[in-house]
Amino acid sequence: MDSSLNISFLIDTFWVALSGVPTALLVTVVAMLIAVPVAFFFALTRINNIPVISQIAKIYVSFVRGTPIIIQIFVLYSFIPIFLNSIFTKYNIDYPIYDIHPLWYAFIIFSFNTTAVLIEVFRSALGTVDRGQLEAAHSVGLTTKQAYIRIIIPQALVSALPNICTATVNLIKATSLGYAISLQEITLRAKVEANLGYNYLEAYIDIFIVYLIVCIAVEQLFKWWEKRLSRYKMASA
């Protein structure tokens, strides 16, 4: 068996792996769009100690942080079709549950995981804003909603952005586990290509390079955004 790297395969499979980037980024964007507002709501309930909801959020965060994401993927991927099938059967809805595209499961699964991560990010960031600013906003006639939009959220966002960046990068890397639900993302496409000639080392190198490029690009985007927010913060100070 030839132990040297197959450079030709390495180059060809790089483009195959790269073709999975749009799927990985789509899952990341959709998961973040779902997770951000839900996580912000639960973070507020935890800060304000709202009964029941605050406790549910706490248990939810503990569950997600205490279990491997691959187990969450297997559990949700198995549970969701069974749950939907029972609902559709009850209401006589004729729909092929088991033909649902894996992308939809990916949206749900990764949103579920990311929401728990962002709850703690937002809770920590909101805690850095002096509560006296909310009282001051009320004193000049602003509603709580207006105070959050104009004063509290912009300040909290500056504090939260590095952790949001980390959560986003971790989410992009976590999409590599999408192969477990047959999601045609970076990892699965490269591994399928490697199956033909058992060139797994080359495929894994390609996967490594593609994720490295994507994650560095996302980190640079967040750094640019953080600089803009920091200028806004200094201008408003």
pLDDT tens digits for 155-164?
Answer: 899 899 999 9
**Predicted local confidence at residue 236, as pLDDT:** 54
Please give the average per-residue pLDDT across 117-142, as a whole number: 89
Whether the Cβ atoms of residue 153 and residue 73 lie closer than 8 Å to each other: no
**Predicted local confidence at residue 151, as pLDDT:** 87
pTM for the model stands at 0.91
Please give the average per-residue pLDDT across 144-173, as a whole number: 92
Residues above pLDDT 90, as percent of the chain: 71
Q: For 66-199, where are the alpha helices, taking DSSP H only?
A: 69-90, 102-127, 132-139, 144-147, 153-174, 186-195
Please tell me the distance from the alpha carbon of residue 171 to that of residue 49, in angstroms, as a whole number: 28
Residue 116 has pLDDT above 70, yes or no: yes
83 to 52, 77, 88, 101, 115: CA distances (angstroms): 24, 11, 9, 16, 21
Query: Which tens digits make up the pLDDT trace of 94-105?
Result: 888 888 999 999
DSSP line for 9-60: HHHHHHHHHHTTHHHHHHHHHHHHHHHHHHHHHHHHHHHTT-TTHHHHHHHH
User: If we measure between CA atoms, which residue out of 10, 28, 16 comes closest to residue 217?
Assistant: 28
Q: What does DSSP assign to residue 6? A: -
**Predicted local confidence at residue 233, as pLDDT:** 60
Q: What does DSSP assign to residue 210? A: H
Please tell me the distance from the alpha carbon of residue 42 to that of residue 66, in angstroms, as a whole number: 18
Q: Is 5 left (phi over 0), alpha (psi -120 to 50) or beta?
A: beta
Please tell me the distance from the alpha carbon of residue 12 to that of residue 114, in angstroms, as a whole number: 33
Please give the average per-residue pLDDT across 32-60, as a whole number: 94
Please give the average per-residue pLDDT across 44-55, as a whole number: 92
Query: Which tens digits make up the pLDDT trace of 65-83?
Result: 999 999 999 999 999 999 9
Residue 87 has pLDDT above 70, yes or no: yes
CA pseudo-torsion sign 83, 85, 89, 91: positive
**Predicted local confidence at residue 154, as pLDDT:** 86
Residue 11 has pLDDT above 70, yes or no: yes
